[in-house]
Amino acid sequence: MLLVTSDNIAAIEKFISKRWPDKIVSTQDNPDAQYYKLGNEIGSESVYKQFTYARNVIQWNMNLFLDGKDNNWSKRVSKYRDEVTEGYNIVPNFFISARMDKELSYDDKIYETQKDNKFFIQRHFENRLFDRDTLLIYHYDVNFLYVVSLYAQNDDGAKQQWKDKVRALFRKEIQQKLQGDFKFYAMTAHPNVDATQYIEENFKEVLGKLYQPFPNKEFFSLALDSNEKYKEENDKLLEELKKHFYVEECKIGTDPTEILEEAKAITPVPAGIEKQKTGVLMVMMENFADKCVKFLPYGKIAIGIKYSKDSMAIVEHLSEIGYILFHTRKDEGLHLFAINGDITVVDSDELGSDVYKNVGTTEMYAVVPFQTIELDSSNLHSSKKSFTLKTRYDAQFEELNNLQ
């Protein structure tokens, strides 16, 4: 067992620097090193350097997706930037100092540092947490006695267990710190509101405040600085957003599904907006890229209605259809659009020659108007809808949540 006291700190520094020369060195030789002796204050140069590290990590992450040089990595690594909101995931950074208080013994705890400066922030814009240039540094103390004894044991399992515990603790502490500085909300669009289009049209107002961290890409996280000087600005933004979205307070790290579903159930639909239509008209279409040029620019298509169970289900739920989904019975190659108006069923003789028909052998057609802006369909699975070989190419009706 290695006994660490204030008398042999120099010997410990020498031992550490020999074993891990590229990671931990004496602060006497390098004031910007990753190991800080107790009592040493973190200088402005060190803070600046840590912010530079964070910027480099963000750029490295983006290069995986922008350069296309490492497809293997880009499939395994999450992208920091969200394409819809153009918000960036929070990238925290750390200073870790050693504590050697006698009363700590050999426990494995992480402590909030006793130094005056415990938190550092760098930003280009205020009140924009999800911004590429909003960078955060947190400062913690670690029990040096425990770390040295852990590595002296050469127990890989114990090391990994400690690393996992530290990561979980850091995550919890950072969430608590952010929760104190910001108010977090979960949002999802009102019926027939195109969230992507709204964000594009109001980009300046929501930039850096919105992000999509949730598996369900219809949900958004909204972060607003809780400082009193931003109250008027934030109240005005919330009032506007609530005209188009369900907006509910939701702590960071919390799944918002239950909160938002409850909001949908109890919140009256805003005036001028119809009751939400959650039905999906599923249209089997191979070679979509070639065929869509004949109907996509016009925002209208005629879908063949047959005398079959699937077609009768479409007619029965005509007023409930809010989306049209083009698919190939697979979970890739999906194209989702919102319905834009009423769907009408007409005889083939009544159908104008300018309307594209998905099939040309039926006597009746459903004329479907739709918005030409494609919606996110990454969470949909057309394979969940059953079919037979005989009805493989027939259109079908299904509820949206049954395809998620």
pLDDT in tens, 231-263: 999 999 999 999 899 999 999 989 999 999 888
Residue 105's pLDDT band (cuts 50, 70, 90): low
Query: pLDDT at residue 13 above 70?
Result: no
Q: What is the Cα Rg of the chain in Å? A: 28
Q: What is the pLDDT of residue 264?
A: 84
Q: What is the pLDDT of residue 324?
A: 96
Residue 186's pLDDT band (cuts 50, 70, 90): very high
- The residue-averaged pLDDT of 172-196 equals 89
Residue 261 CA to residue 146 CA, distance in Å, equals 46
Q: What is the pLDDT of residue 71?
A: 60
Residue 224 CA to residue 80 CA, distance in Å, equals 19
Q: What is the pLDDT of residue 63?
A: 83
Q: What is the pLDDT of residue 123?
A: 86
Cβ atoms of 222 and 149 closer than 8 Å: no
Residue 83 CA to residue 65 CA, distance in Å, equals 12
Residue labelled with tokens 């769907």: 343
Query: pLDDT at residue 31 above 50?
Result: no
- The residue-averaged pLDDT of 190-201 equals 87
- The residue-averaged pLDDT of 79-87 equals 90
Closest CA to 277 of 326, 218, 318: 318
**CA 385 to centroid of chain Cα atoms:** 27
Closest CA to 135 of 94, 173, 97, 169: 94
In DSSP terms, 210 is beta-bridged to 222
